[in-house]
């Protein structure tokens, strides 16, 4: 036996002993699974199971007759494969049954118990056991003919963010399925005053996309008790690849939530509206009981050198997207939602926790299916991630991530005031010094020679390559509603609330970024001043649709601005060079921002379009480029009834926007 052979034998023995002891290697060195992460391939002839668990000593598959059955019908010892996965084939038709995996890893510091695995695609009530279903039987009628509505590109998007329960739980919504996926399939719903609600309201408003708050299976609502009012935003992931049961009419039927979510998407598509889902791959509801820990302890989360969990999510843990299998999990899971549910894009929660390569690979995957699918997220974290800053998908590094967008807090806070203090106002209170940050947002956070970056609030340098990487907004589910914020931060005089609300959204809807609106702002919904209403009762979060008739003028203004944007390509140039060529700022006094979209921008029928945002409590005058102008938005009306011709200069009423064209 030569020396080389001795070393080979020694390594083999150590390796075999290690496998027997369940000590393959440290989690960071685990082999990657060779095939898809999907854990079940169902056919009527057999069900094939596969679970990646490289540190396990053994894995038991349990098949149950029902979700509640105390004892399994059978237990199957799974077979170890070279790539750290375990497989088993159960012959015969298993449809309608339930399954779990039990990983045996004696040296784990976590208590391991049964788990539905990380890639269950159907589950029983409250998501503790996975279900065996024939996914084709969950397709609603006509699903094969479902097509996503046409979209030229991200520049044409107008996004409406909503929570299922907020949107339809109040009796005034007039729906048959309050708070459920199916509410968005119901046409003809009306408020007590006879105004459109539900999907008809979205159509009337003219948005192109709805962004639904987390709608995968989350942990905090007990699905066994739909009769009890329970509320959560859903940022507490349990099963990433299954719809949330409390939004289904029957959470105990594993097929129901799947079919009804598809019905919702199908109905929105048929109405010409695309669907984006908010995804929260950055952390899980809990660590010990998560499918990540239960199948592969200490692999999927970032840990400090001494084994403590990272907490960049502010929720007690952060996932490790830089590890190969977490990276692949995010990309595969996102692909699954696009392929199985026909979703049209994603909003990534706390995207700054993820590494850039993961976001680039999600983008690449989306491009391979349809380049018009949207991808954006929060370019920040809630704490310091345990990964080198320069690898993270942070807002300031978005120029590394073409095709991926981030929320523009620069313009948001310049308009309404800082995130850190609900009682502090900014531009809307006519405070000077915020104009440059608003200009920065209006151009879509690109490099523009007329934006002085030294005066921008948060960013020292442009952070987008293309303007559509900037998601522009003044409010979202986080923080106060705009109405509450205005009340908290400004000593409002009669009429000011509505004027300032309109002014704020005019900036959003005339910007070159992607405009983003939070549900209910258009009817002046409030949340009674609650800032973080993630688990507040319906009384705080629900939209009372009777507000629509009380604030119809405001709704018509939002509707008019959206129609104006969608009719005029000048507001949707979608290209940084075009924005630099056509969009120019006009000299204006403090508290006023004015710009022109010049020379038939984007092929627009109008030659010049002038937008003036006046936050001052008195009228303001701006010199106009040469031409004779007509108003399309003036004195809080859009479309405007103002038939004057403006030449040379324009006078804008206090706290309003003026939009002119020649
Ligand atoms: Ca759930």
pLDDT tens, position by position, 344-378: 999 999 999 999 999 999 999 999 999 999 999 99
Is 349 among the catalytic positions? yes
Rounded distance, CA 659 to CA 55, Å? 64
Rounded distance, CA 241 to CA 118, Å? 8
Mean pLDDT taken over the chain: 95
Ramachandran sector of residue 528 (left: φ over 0; alpha: ψ -120 to 50; beta: rest): left
Query: What spacing in Å lies between the alpha carbon of 126 and ligand 1's midpoint?
Result: 5
Q: Output the six-digit token pair for 429.
A: 């209170």
Phi and psi angles of residue 370, each rounded to the nearest 5 degrees, phi first: -170, 110
Rounded distance, CA 275 to CA 291, Å? 27
Has domain 34-138 been given CATH number 3.90.1300.10?
no
Q: Is the peptide bond before 639 cis (omega within 30 degrees of 0)?
A: yes
Specify the pLDDT at position 25: 65
Q: If residue 49 lies in a helix (H) or strand (E), which one and from where to where? A: strand 46-52
Indicate the burial class of 200 (C-beta count within 10 angstroms; 0-12, 13-18, 19 or more).
Answer: middle
Rounded distance, CA 444 to CA 600, Å? 19
Give the contacts of 29 (CB within 8 A, at least 6 positions apart): none
Phi and psi angles of residue 228, each rounded to the nearest 5 degrees, phi first: -85, 130
Q: If residue 211 lies in a helix (H) or strand (E), which one and from where to where? A: strand 209-212
Is 450 among the catalytic positions? no
Rounded distance, CA 398 to CA 594, Å? 27
Query: What spacing in Å lies between the alpha carbon of 102 and ligand 1's midpoint?
Result: 21
DSSP for residue 214 = -
Specify the pLDDT at position 8: 33
Q: Output the six-digit token pair for 442.
A: 């209006």
Query: What spacing in Å lies between the alpha carbon of 414 and ligand 1's midpoint?
Result: 37
- Please provide the CATH number assigned to the domain covering 582-661: 2.60.40.1180
Helix axes 435-442, 496-509, angle to 10 degrees: 40
Query: What spacing in Å lies between the alpha carbon of 221 and ligand 1's midpoint?
Result: 6
* Residue 553 DSSP SS3: helix
- Over residues 539-562, the pLDDT tens digits come to 999 999 999 999 999 999 999 999
Query: What spacing in Å lies between the alpha carbon of 99 and ligand 1's midpoint?
Result: 17
Query: What spacing in Å lies between the alpha carbon of 121 and ligand 1's midpoint?
Result: 13
Specify the pLDDT at position 26: 86
Query: What spacing in Å lies between the alpha carbon of 250 and ligand 1's midpoint?
Result: 12
Query: What spacing in Å lies between the alpha carbon of 249 and ligand 1's midpoint?
Result: 13
Catalytic residue (choose from 349, 435, 522, 662):
349
Phi and psi angles of residue 148, each rounded to the nearest 5 degrees, phi first: -75, 140
Indicate the burial class of 182 (C-beta count within 10 angstroms; 0-12, 13-18, 19 or more).
Answer: buried
Contact present, 633 and 653 (Cβ < 8 Å) = no
Specify the pLDDT at position 5: 33
pTM: 0.95
Specify the pLDDT at position 429: 98
Which residues in the chain land under pLDDT 70? 1-25
**Count of other CB atoms within 10 angstroms of residue 482:** 26
Q: Output the six-digit token pair for 486.
A: 């205005």
Across-strand partners of 470? 406
Catalytic residue (choose from 223, 260, 278, 378):
378
Query: What spacing in Å lies between the alpha carbon of 238 and ligand 1's midpoint?
Result: 7
Determine how β-strand 159-162 pairs with β-strand 514-518.
parallel
Contact present, 57 and 92 (Cβ < 8 Å) = no
Query: What spacing in Å lies between the alpha carbon of 222 and ligand 1's midpoint?
Result: 7
Domain boundaries, the chain: 1-31, 34-138, 582-661
Give the contacts of 150 (CB within 8 A, at least 6 positions apart): none
Query: What spacing in Å lies between the alpha carbon of 224 and ligand 1's midpoint?
Result: 10
């Amino acid at each position: 036996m030569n020396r080389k052979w001795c070393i080979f034998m020694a390594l083999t023995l150590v390796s075999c002993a290690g496998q027997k002891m369940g000590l393959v290697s440290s989690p960071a060195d685990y082999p990657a699974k060779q095939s898809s992460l999907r854990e079940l391939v169902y056919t009527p002839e057999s069900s094939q199971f596969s679970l990646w668990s490289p540190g396990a000593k053994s894995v038991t598959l349990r098949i149950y007759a029902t979700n509640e059955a105390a004892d399994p019908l059978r237990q199957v010892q799974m077979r170890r494969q070279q790539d750290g996965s375990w497989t088993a084939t159960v012959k015969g038709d298993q449809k309608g049954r339930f399954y779990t995996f039990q990983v045996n890893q004696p040296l784990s510091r976590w208590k391991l118990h049964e788990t539905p695995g990380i890639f269950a695609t159907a589950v029983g009530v409250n998501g503790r056991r996975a279900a065996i279903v024939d996914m084709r039987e969950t397709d609603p009628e006509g699903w094969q003919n479902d097509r996503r509505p046409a979209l030229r590109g991200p520049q044409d998007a107008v996004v409406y963010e909503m929570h299922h329960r907020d949107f339809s739980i109040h009796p005034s919504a007039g729906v048959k399925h309050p708070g459920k996926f199916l509410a968005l399939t119901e046409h003809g719903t009306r408020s007590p005053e006879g105004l459109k609600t539900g999907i008809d309201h979205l159509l009337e408003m003219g948005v192109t996309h709805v962004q639904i708050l987390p709608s995968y299976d989350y942990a905090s609502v007990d699905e066994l008790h739909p009769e009890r009012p329970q509320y959560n935003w859903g940022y507490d992931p349990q099963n990433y690849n299954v719809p949330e049961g409390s939004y289904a009419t029957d959470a105990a039927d594993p097929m129901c939530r799947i079919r009804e979510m598809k019905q919702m998407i199908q109905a929105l598509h048929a109405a010409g509206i695309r669907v984006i889902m908010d995804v929260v791959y950055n952390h899980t509801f809990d660590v010990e009981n998560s499918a990540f820990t239960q199948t592969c302890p200490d692999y999927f989360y970032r840990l400090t050198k001494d084994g403590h969990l990272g907490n960049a999510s502010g929720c007690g843990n952060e996932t490790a997207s830089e590890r190969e299998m977490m990276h692949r999990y995010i990309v595969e899971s996102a692909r699954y939602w696009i392929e199985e549910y026909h979703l049209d894009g994603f909003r990534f929660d706390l995207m700054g926790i993820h590494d850039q390569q993961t976001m680039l690979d999600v983008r690449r995957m989306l491009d391979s299916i349809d380049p018009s699918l949207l991808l954006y997220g929060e370019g920040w974290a809630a704490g310091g991630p345990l990964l080198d800053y320069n690898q993270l998908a942070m807002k300031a590094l978005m120029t590394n991530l073409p095709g991926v967008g981030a929320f523009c807090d620069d313009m948001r806070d310049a308009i309404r005031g800082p995130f850190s203090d609900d009682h502090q106002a900014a531009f809307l209170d006519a405070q000077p010094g915020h104009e440059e940050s608003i200009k920065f947002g209006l151009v879509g956070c690109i490099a523009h020679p007329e934006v002085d970056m030294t005066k921008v609030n948060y960013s020292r340098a442009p952070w987008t390559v293309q303007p559509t990487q900037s998601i522009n907004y003044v409010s979202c589910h986080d923080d106060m509603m705009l109405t509450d914020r205005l009340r908290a931060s400004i000593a409002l005089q009669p009429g000011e609330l509505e004027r300032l609300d309109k002014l704020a959204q005019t900036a959003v809807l005339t910007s070159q970024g992607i405009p983003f609106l939070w549900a209910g702002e258009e009817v002046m919904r409030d949340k009674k001043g609650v800032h973080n209403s993630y688990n507040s009762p319906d009384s705080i979060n629900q939209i009372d649709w009777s507000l629509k008739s009380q604030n119809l003028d405001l709704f018509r203004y939002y509707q008019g601005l959206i129609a104006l944007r969608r009719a005029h390509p000048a507001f949707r140039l979608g290209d940084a060079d075009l924005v630099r060529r056509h969009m120019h700022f006009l000299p204006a006094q403090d508290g006023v921002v004015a710009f022109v979209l010049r020379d038939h921008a984007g092929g627009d029928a109008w030659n010049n379009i002038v937008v003036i945002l006046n936050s001052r409590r008195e009228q303001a005058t701006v010199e106009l480029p040469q031409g004779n102008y007509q108003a399309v938005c003036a004195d809080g009306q859009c479309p405007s009834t103002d038939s004057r011709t403006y030449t040379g200069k324009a006078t804008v009423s206090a706290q309003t926007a003026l939009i002119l064209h020649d």
